[in-house]
Structure 1
Amino acid sequence: MPFTKTALAATTLLAVALVPAQAVASPTALAAPDISLSNVQSHLSTLQSIATANGGNRAHGRAGYKASVDHLKSRLDAAGYTTAVQQFTSNGAVGYNLTADWPGGDVNNTIMLGGHLDSVTAGPGINDNGSGSAGLLEVALTAARTNFAPTKHVRFAWWGAEELGLVGSTYYVNNLPSAERSRIKAYLNFDMIGSPNPGYFVYSASGQPSGSLALQQLLQSAFSGVVATELTSVGGRSDHAAFARSGIPVGGLFTGAEVAKTSAQAQKWGGTAGVAFDRCYHRSCDTTANINATALDRNADAIAFALWGLAA
């Protein structure tokens, strides 16, 4: 995530509600598979290796970012996705968005899931946002392995130049023909899902387009019986913002950045009060050692829960 995160507002976990059929199917309609933590960790190790081999980062305009795009594209192509790489220019350098469409489903009812793939120049960006990128990749590969046959069309996305101000996702949305934009019924964003001193935050629907409350409640229900969640008002700090500005319902998950965990949160979630959720936020120490495996596992499963609930 770029810049400073907004304050994190507490709430109790809400039960999932019935929502309009055109937006969200019942999350119990088809059980989501368990997402392999070891596979997600393997993807993170690959992103770390790419950064290490390319000057220590995966930032926009750097070789490490393009290598990250190429690696994900090759995995998704081999799994049967239809991939596309969209180019844009920012700060005098070429950037790239990667999208991957799963065959089938009603294209007039498209569900998108995404997160940014770039890091800052200071480090490899393994939590921010290798974690979301790797979780999305493994969910996509799991869908392919299980012959997922959704009724809605599914598109995954990995955005470039988020750390420069949401450049890639904004470019994507702004360049969609209006007819294509109207086909997107929901966008879910996953930015930092493995923070080492984690919280469990769900994007608040407050102030977001109509339909976002259903997504908030769906994501909250993914953690029901597992861990309590809190709502967070991410505002315009991540890649859901461009979709929200276009009136598309949005939601997302987040495990915290540079804000310190409170005593009440530490009592609820464990970890250390008075210490940032991610002490290595935007620093060189954001490596594979900067990941909480339990948070990564829970959030990867929540991504799958949301996808199966929305699209199946």
Structure 2
Amino acid sequence: MIRRLAGASLSLAVVLGAAALPAAAGPATASTTTANVSAAPDVDVAKVRAHLSELSAIAGRNGGNRRSTTQGYRDSVAYVKGKLQAAGYTVTEQPCTSGCTSGAGPNLIAEWPRGDANNVYMFGAHLDGVAAGPGMNDNGSGSAALLENALALAQQNPTMRNRVRFAWWTDEEQGLNGSAFYVRSLSSAERARIRAYYNFDMVASTNGGYFINHITSSAAAPMKAYWDSLGLRPEENTEGAGRSDDYSFQRYGIPTSGYAMGAGARKTSAQAAKWGGTAGASYDPCYHRACDTLSNINTTGLDRAADGIAHTLWQQAVQTGLLADDASPRGT
């Protein structure tokens, strides 16, 4: 998450259209008796942490960080891309040709080619970090949780109602530049197909809370429902307002939500009583510091975020009902 929203211009000319995406699969037949019904998976947090370990190793081989302009970032892109391609995704690298820091690496976009292409639910996280350290919580945590969710979707291959598109953003730390470029590059018709965008930035803060962007919105409803089911009593993410990639979508009128566990702001006494941790201390004491390493990860929070992403994805895009013998055909 950026420390504050820099003055990244959204008035630059659009020079790149939406990434080419795989075509939809054919519709299910009307004689289908049941959909490919499956519950949202319990995402394995050990696998999420394994992705974090790889991102940490990448940083270690590249000067200790994964800033958007470095080989550490480009190697992070290659790691995520390789995992997605092995799972069957067609993955697009989108160069940021305007508005990004000079030399910044690409956005990475992957779409699961099932479901109604006119109803897209998008899930994203920034993959870049700051120069001070490897960026394990900010934002290896969101990137890794998102990656394992994409892999779990491919493995389960459920019947889909709607489309799911995943994105790992470049140059967030310099002003939300990669996501701003992506949304700016879309046509108005392409933006209209995105029903909601979900953002995951710093979801493993060691002294964290449980925060949801636009918590009372309809987009946030499945995210809140999952954390409510765990008794977490989440709160609005006021600290993160306008400071992460959801803001790029919000500026174009696209509904947004997302999970966060907090950055440099301090936990209140009421929050410590509710969630545990230390009142008066930062949610992430290693925010934008060299100590944002693998030791700076709240595994319980990471697990709850990863599972909440899966719950939201299934609620918004996966076919969970039964189809009668005379049901109308539905896209898969």
TM-score band, normalised by shorter chain: 0.7 to 0.9
In the alignment, what sits opposite 1:281?
287
SS of the equivalent of 1:94 reads coil
Corresponding position: 1:232 with 2:237: yes
Given candidates 90, 95, 110, the residue that maps to 1:87 is 95
Residue 170 of structure 2 is matched in structure 1 by: 160
1:1-312, aligned counterparts within 5 Å?
1-4=1-4, 31-89=39-97, 90-204=100-214, 213-226=217-230, 227-233=232-238, 234-312=240-318
| TM-score, normalised relative to structure 1 | 0.88
| Matched residues, number | 283
Query: TM-score w.r.t. structure 2 length?
Result: 0.83
The structure with the largest strand share of the pair is 1
| 4+ long deviations beyond 3 Å | none
Aligned-pair CA distance for 1:205: 5.3
Q: Deviations over 1:38-64 (max 9, x none)?
A: 000000000000000000000011000
Q: Cα offset for 1:183?
A: 1.1
How far the C-alpha of 1:149 sits from its partner, in A, is 2.5
Local SS of the residue matching 1:52: helix
Q: Distance in 2 between matches of 1:180 and 1:217?
A: 24
Question: Cα distance, 1:30 vs. partner?
Answer: 5.5
One-letter code of the match for 2:199?
A: N
SS of residue matched to 1:120: coil
The separation in 1 between residues aligned to 2:220 and 2:275, in whole angstroms, is 20
Contiguous gaps of at least 5 residues in structure 2: 6-36, 319-332
**Aligned-partner SS, 1:88:** coil
Which residue is 1:9 aligned to? none
Structure 1: stretches of 5+ with no match in the other structure = 6-28, 207-212
Aligned equivalent of 2:323:
none
- Report SS of the residue matched to 1:163: coil
- After superposition, the C-alpha distances for 1:255-289 in whole angstroms (9 at most, x for unaligned) are 01111111111110011111111000000100010
> Once the two structures are aligned, what percentage of the paired residues are identical?
51
**Displacement of 1:92 after TM fit?**
2.1
| Distance across 2 between alignment mates of 1:167 and 1:91 | 8
Aligned-partner SS, 2:197: strand
Which whole-Å deviations, capped at 9, do the CAs of 1:114-148 have from their partners, x for residues lacking one? Answer: 01000001111000000000000000001111113
**Residue identity in the other structure for 1:253:** Y
Give the residue type in structure 1 aligned to 2:229.
Answer: G
1:19 aligned residue: none
Report SS of the residue matched to 2:277. Answer: coil
Q: Distance in 2 between matches of 1:105 and 1:34?
A: 22
